[in-house]
Amino acid sequence: MAVGKEIRNKIDNVENTQKITRAMQMVAASKMRRTQERMRQGRPYAEKIRQMIGHLANSSPEYRHTYMVSRDVKRVGYIVVSSDRGLCGGLNVNLFRMLVREMVDWQSKKVEVDLGLIGNKAGAFFRSVGGNVVAALHDVGEKPTVADLVGGIKVMLDAYEEGRIDKLFIVSNQFVNTMTQRPVSRQLLPLDAEDDSSMKHRWDYIYEPDARQLIEGLVMRFIESQVYQAVIENGACEQAAKMVAMKAATDNAETLIEELKLIYNNARQAAITQEIAEIVGGAAAV
């Protein structure tokens, strides 16, 4: 029957799209478990080293590394952790929105902003929006190693050391649960002192072998682990957000198909009724 051919076609299209979104949902669900596992395993180290650095910043060491000294802020750096791929709902958009708000804040204080980008989406976004991008890492993949990330981090650390930027932040998504991911911005440099009143008195570590070497090594390790953990966590967020987004898309396709089927059946019924009426009318005329 020729009736409703267009509608039939439309239904087929939506069904095909639904197949794709359903497959993506399932892929994301299985990847999510793996990425979350990886994130959980890395957390204790990242937390411990953050505590250790917090203690260090609270101490009054004989040697103060440039990373520990606050300077007048004329220019700040941001390491932006985004996903490589899209179709993950508002994950990246929310992150960028927060970042842009902070950038506007800085600009109103006459502070310039440098960006170090990790992930394809951040690259694409700031290419169209503009912004002073000093480093960009693409195609980080799902299983990044610290070595993959070091290049991008190094640019920002060098900039800090040479005094081109006076503060370094990292913005990434924090994994709350499967439904919720929260964009957060944290200060990496200068090192933030942990707020602990028991630490306020003057004290210092015994350093072996010597403070300078040790602090440098520890701080490098700290930055690396924080960035690495942020990338891993962002990966877990991406898969969770993708799963939720694809589930919503699959559900939407389902309702769309139902609506279209209703219209199609209505049209078909109308056509049949009309045909019968025509036949009856024709028979009566004879």
Partner 1 sequence: MATIHCDIVSAEHEIFSGAVTMISLVGSIGELGILPGHAPLLTGIRPGPVHLTLENGEDEVFFASGGFLEVQPGIITILADTAARAEDLDEAAAVEAREAAERALADQAAGTDFSLAAAQLAEALAQSRTLEELRKRRRR
Which residues bind to partner 1, rule: CB under 8 A? Answer: 41-42, 44-45, 48-49, 51-52, 55-56, 59, 203-209, 214, 217-218, 221, 225
Which one, 33 or 45, has the nearer CB to partner 1?
A: 45
Among 51, 27, 2, 11, smallest CA distance to 247 is for 27
- Residue 211 sits at the vertex; the CA angle it makes with 188 and 158, to the nearest 5 degrees, is 40
Q: How far is the CB of 196 from partner 1 (least distance, A)?
A: 10
Q: How far is the CB of 225 from partner 1 (least distance, A)?
A: 7
Which one, 145 or 255, has the nearer CB to partner 1?
A: 145
Which one, 28 or 188, has the nearer CB to partner 1?
A: 188
Which one, 203 or 280, has the nearer CB to partner 1?
A: 203
Main-chain phi, psi angles of 76, to 5 degrees:
-120, 155
Which one, 163 or 217, has the nearer CB to partner 1?
A: 217
* Strands of 39-163, DSSP E: 75-81, 112-118, 132-137
Q: How far is the CB of 117 from partner 1 (least distance, A)?
A: 24
Q: How far is the CB of 45 from partner 1 (least distance, A)?
A: 5
Report the alpha-carbon distance of residue 185 to residue 96 in Å, rounded.
11
**Residue 193 contacts residue 187 (beta carbons within 8 Å):** no
**Residue 176 DSSP SS3:** coil
**Residue 188 contacts residue 170 (beta carbons within 8 Å):** yes
Q: How far is the CB of 210 from partner 1 (least distance, A)?
A: 10
Report the alpha-carbon distance of residue 65 to residue 62 in Å, rounded.
10
